[in-house]
Each structure stands twice: as structure tokens, then as C-alpha cells.
Amino acid sequence: MTERVVFRPLYQQIKVLLIQALKAGQWAPGSIIPSEFELAAQYGVSQGTVRKAIDELVADNVLMRRQGKGTFVSSHAEPRAEFRFLRLVSDAGEAMTPENHILGVQRILAPDLLAQQLSLKPNDSVVEIQRVQFFAGQPINFEHIWLRGDQFKKLTADLLQSYQGPMYALFERQFAIVMVRAEEEIRAVAASADEALQLKIAVGTPLLSVYRRSFSYGEHAVEVRHSRFITHHFHYQHELN
Amino acid sequence: MTERVVFRPLYQQIKVLLIQALKAGQWAPGSIIPSEFELAAQYGVSQGTVRKAIDELVADNVLMRRQGKGTFVSSHAEPRAEFRFLRLVSDAGEAMTPENHILGVQRILAPDLLAQQLSLKPNDSVVEIQRVQFFAGQPINFEHIWLRGDQFKKLTADLLQSYQGPMYALFERQFAIVMVRAEEEIRAVAASADEALQLKIAVGTPLLSVYRRSFSYGEHAVEVRHSRFITHHFHYQHELN
DNA sequence: CAGTGGTCTAGACCACGCT
DNA sequence: GCGTGGTCTAGACCACTGC
């Protein structure tokens, strides 16, 4: 009848401490963190234990190692991260940088389902963004993006439209929100009147519908988005293992 | 002007040796491999080095560890692997075991593109399988599957139809082919006359089209398949990080 | 050349599964 | 209790980067 004590490896505890430090903004995206030996000294464990904690965070894409230089906080502002959350490529296989057109930004009360998905209370607000993405000059993706109102207080259409680069990079700079992970649900749907209008296609054209829920450090749900892609000359990439 | 010698860590070399042993059929899917200490003794390295090699193979889903028991070769015949390569779930979020109906099996000369994707020579043959998958009694997925003719000599419709369970489990048992990894291209398309007939839907209905290329040990391309899913009550799951 | 991450080793001990 | 994988440590040396 003894109490069952859950066994927690030391390196897991170190990992949690590192995530908390990241969450608290102790190290900004793109910046270097202390060396393995420094962290080991701070936490009172061996370098190998810190190493294992960092190994997992690197596997999760939270940190990046550069041999001879140090360990860095992953950032969506880095060139190599540009297509990390953008899996649409041309049928020739090349990833392309889209042009973004913001259609509108507004603050609304979160509907029930959305509130639940973002862990919001009833009557909490969300920011709704509508935009169209152009690839090679063609409107390819029409999407709605919903963000926690409390964490994006000063987000405006002007800010979004003026920013060059991935939206997630803007979120890092202006709102200290770092996207770490996302879950997607993918379907084929027929274009509605609104979708057809925005994408300049016929009503009923098959579209790739992607619902995404994105998380920041510590599995904190921050964003929901609904994208609809024309996949006539582009496709979504996916890897199974 | 000295020759640049590429540095290869020991554990990477051990990893290659383990993959070669798996490729050679030294350990069957689902079976146990020698302990870390035994392998270390065989290869003349420390247990920690073998461990790191196994770590990577576990991350690749090639091997599985079970604490207190040993390290095992991953198999598609295990219950927990049933949905490893089947990412379709109901909109309620539950994974369902499909019923498979084989429509036909035939041997054909590989068309150019297919030959290239499977690293075949001109005039090499492939086995083409057509089937429909039923979820909850409804036809949901119509697919064509092409396999290397040289590795699936005795594959028949009867064998496929009589086998209960994932097709990849059958491949392991009967043909010693273990699927390790796959790449997919996902699009939304309008149902053709043939697709509409097989799935009992109207021509033009949006379908989720998935082209998959699957690889066995050592990046050996073995299979190409084209699936078309009705995503009215089901969706594809995807995780980004 | 100094500092960082990367590899390799050897040994001790813990958690787990089975017998 | 034994054998397995899992954790933790300490130390040595290598590869890479930048001063």
C-alpha cells in the first residue's frame, strides 16, 4: 500500500527547467544559451545530463546546436526555418516564398469551439485575421487565423501587411510568442462562394482544407487557422515513419 | 592540398552495420536483437557507443526498446503499429480498422515515371493492386498500389484478400519486406468517373489524393501508391514541429 | 589558441520484466 | 535474483569556429 512515487529522470527535470526559462523569455529566439558546462554547474548536474536534456529539445526543434559555436534558441526568423511550417511546394518540388495580402483583422468574442481549442474562458476575445497567399503571382491559399486576444493586444492589419517574412517570425519579435508544434487536420472540400471569390476560381473547385492548431513552449495553444489551398500546381508534403 | 578525410563517428558505422544485418534478414521483424553488451563485444566498442547507434534506429522507428526485456525489430504486425502508416481518422478523432476489398492484381511493365521512382530498369515489371477500403461499412478509399515485380513474385489477389490485418504486415511475413519510411504528396482533386463508381459518389466530388512512395531498410524504394479518400466524415492527421 | 559542441569510454547504480 | 535497458557521472580526446 505504499505510495507509488513516479520516477523522473534528472535530465527530464533539467529539460523542464530549460523550457520554463524559455517561456519566461530568459533567452530570445535566435540567441545563444549558456554552454553545457555552465548549465551543468548552475543546475548541479554533470555535463552529460544537461546534454541529454538539450538533445531532446533539439529533437523537438526548440533548440539548435552549432558545433564550435554553441546552442541557440530556434527562431522562425532564420532563413532555414522559412518552410518549417509551410509544407506547400510546387509540383516540381520547389518551395516558394509566398506574397501575403491581409484582407482584414478584427477582434471578436471567441465562439465556443474556438475558446475550447485555445483554452479560453467564455467571453474571452480572439483576433481574427483573414488573408490570401499568392504563390508565383497566383492566389493559392485563403485563410482565417485566430489568435488569443490576451497575447496579441496590439496586432493590426498595418503591422501584418508591412512585415516581410513569415508571420511566426513577426509573432516572435512583436509578441514574444514562439511556435513550437502544430497539429493539422486535412480534408478535400468544394470551394464555397466566398472561397471561390477570393481565390478567383469556380464554386465547387476542390480545395485542400487544413485546420491547424499551434502551440508555444509548454504545449500552450496560441493559434488556430483554417487554410484552403488550390492544389492544381502545388501539393502538400508529408513524411511518414 | 591534403586529401579531405570525411569523419565518420563510430556509432554511425555501427548503425550502418545494424541496418545491413536487418537488410540481410539476420533478425526478423518483431524478434529480439542481441543485448547492448553483446553487440558491444561483437563490434569491439563500448556499450555506450552501441547505445547511441540504437538510439537513432529507435528514433527512425526501425527498432523498439522495451525496458527490462530487450531491443526488438519494429514490425507492422504489432497491434500498436496498425495506424503507423494509416493517418485517416474519423472527425471524432478515432482511428478505425478498415475492411479491404481487392479489386484486382496484375503484372505490368513499369511505365517510365514509375520505373524511375522504384529504381527499376526499362522493361522491369511491377505488380499493380487495385483495392477499396471500407471504414464503418462505407467505401472511403480507392487506391492503386505498385510494387517492385522482382520482390513480390508470388503475390496474388487470393493471398491479399485472405490476409487479415495491415498489408505491410503481410509484406513482412511473406516477402521479407519491412517498410520503414514513406514520402507523401497530398492534393484535393475532383472524382473521375472511375473513382466515382468505386466510391459510390458523384463525379466531381472533392477527394483527398495521396501519392505515397515507401522505402525499406537502407532507403530502398519498394512501393508507390495512389490513394483517394472521401473526407466527408474522416480527415488526415498531420503533425508539424 | 581557447571555447564550444561531438564522440567514446568505463563504471556505478536504478527501474523494469520475468522466472 | 538475474538480465535487460535507462540514468548519471567523470574524464579524455576530437572536430569545428572565431579571435
Query: Does residue B188 contact residue A231 with C-beta atoms inside 8 Å?
Result: yes
Rounded to whole angstroms, the Cα distance separating A193 from A202 reads 8
- pTM equals 0.94
> In the prediction, which pLDDT does A5 show?
59
Instruction: Give the pLDDT score at A33.
Output: 98
Chain A: residue nearest B62 by CA?
A: A241
Q: What is the pLDDT of residue B5?
A: 59
Q: Cβ separation of A239 and B181 shorter than 8 Å?
A: yes
Rg (C-alpha) for chain B, rounded Å, is 20
- The predicted pLDDT at position B28 comes to 97
What residue in B sits closest to A57 (Cα-Cα)?
B241
Residue A130 CA to its chain's centroid (Å):
17
CB pairs under 8 A between A and B: 102
Smallest Cβ–Cβ distance between A208 and the set B183, B188, B237 belongs to B188
Query: What does the pLDDT read at residue A7?
Result: 83
Q: Which residues of A touch B188 (CB under 8 A)?
A: 188-189, 206-209, 229, 231
Do B76 and B172 touch, CB atoms closer than 8 A? yes
Q: Hunting for cell 527512425 — which residue is that?
A: B60
**Res B2: pLDDT:** 35
Nucleotides of C under 7 A from a protein CB: 3-11, 14-18
Q: How many CB atoms lie within 10 A of CB B6?
A: 4
Residues of chain B with C-beta less than 8 angstroms from the C-beta of A206: 188-190, 206-207
Question: Residue B150: CB partners within 8 Å, gap ≥ 6?
Answer: B124, B125
- Residue closest to D2 C1′ by Cα: B68
Q: Which of B176, B236, B184 has the alpha carbon at shortest distance from B208? A: B236
Q: Which helix (H) or strand (E) holds A81?
A: none
Residue among B222, B217, B172 at smallest CA distance from B23: B217
**Nucleotides of D strand lying within 7 Å of any protein CB atom:** 3-11, 14-18
Per DSSP, what are the bridge partners of residue B143?
B131, B227
Whole-angstrom Cα distance, residue A213 to residue A55?
Answer: 25
pLDDT of chain B along its 241 residues, tens only?
334 457 889 999 999 999 999 999 999 999 999 999 999 999 999 999 999 999 999 999 999 999 999 999 999 999 999 999 999 999 999 999 999 999 999 999 999 999 999 999 989 999 999 999 999 999 999 999 999 999 999 999 999 999 988 999 999 999 999 999 999 999 999 999 999 999 999 999 999 999 999 999 999 999 999 999 999 999 999 999 9
pLDDT reported for residue B8: 87
Cβ neighbours, 10 Å, residue A146: 21
Dihedral over Cα of B36, B40, B43, B49: its sign: positive
| Residue B163 to residue A164: CA distance in whole angstroms | 54
CB under 8 A, 24+ apart: contacts of B59-63: B59/A59, B60/A241, B60/B180, B60/B181, B61/A241, B61/B180, B62/B19, B62/B22, B62/B180, B62/B217, B63/B18, B63/B33
Q: Could you write out the DSSP letters of every residue in chain B? A: ----PPP--HHHHHHHHHHHHHHTTSS-TTPEEPPHHHHHHHHTS-HHHHHHHHHHHHHTTSEEEETTTEEEE--TTSGGGTTSS--EEETTS-B-PPEEEEEEEEEEEPPHHHHHHTTPPTT-EEEEEEEEEEETTEEEEEEEEEEEGGG-TT--HHHHHH--S-HHHHHHHHH-----EEEEEEEEEE--HHHHHHHT--TT-EEEEEEEEEEETTTEEEEEEEEEE--SSEEEEEEE-
Query: Tell me, in Å, how far CA of B102 is from C1' of D10?
Result: 61
The CA dihedral of B6, B12, B17, B19, to the nearest 10 degrees, is -120
Tens of pLDDT along A8-39? 899 999 999 999 999 999 999 999 999 999 99
For A73, the enclosing helix (H) or strand (E) is: strand A70-73
Flag residues of chain A having pLDDT under 50.
1-4
Distance CA B134, CA B131 (A): 10
Cα-Cα-Cα-Cα dihedral sign, residues A241, B6, B7, B13: positive
Distance CA B82, CA A83 (A): 30
Residue A209 vs residues A36, A44, B203: alpha-carbon distances, Å: 43, 49, 20
- Nucleotide closest to B5 measured between CA and C1': D15
Task: Cell numbers for A228, please give them.
Answer: 484552403
What are the residues of chain A with a beta carbon less than 8 Å away from any beta carbon of chain B?
Answer: 59-61, 84-85, 87, 180-190, 204-210, 212, 229, 231, 235-241
Dist CA A145 CA A212 (whole Å): 9
| Cα–chain center distance at A88 | 15
Between A189, A209, A237, which is nearest B185 by CB? A237
pLDDT confidence of residue B1: 33
Query: Do B61 and B84 form a contact (C-beta atoms < 8 A)?
Result: yes
Residue A183: its chain B contacts at CB < 8 A?
A: 237-240
Shortest CA gap B62–chain A (Å): 9
Closest residue (CA) to C1' of nucleotide C5 is: A67
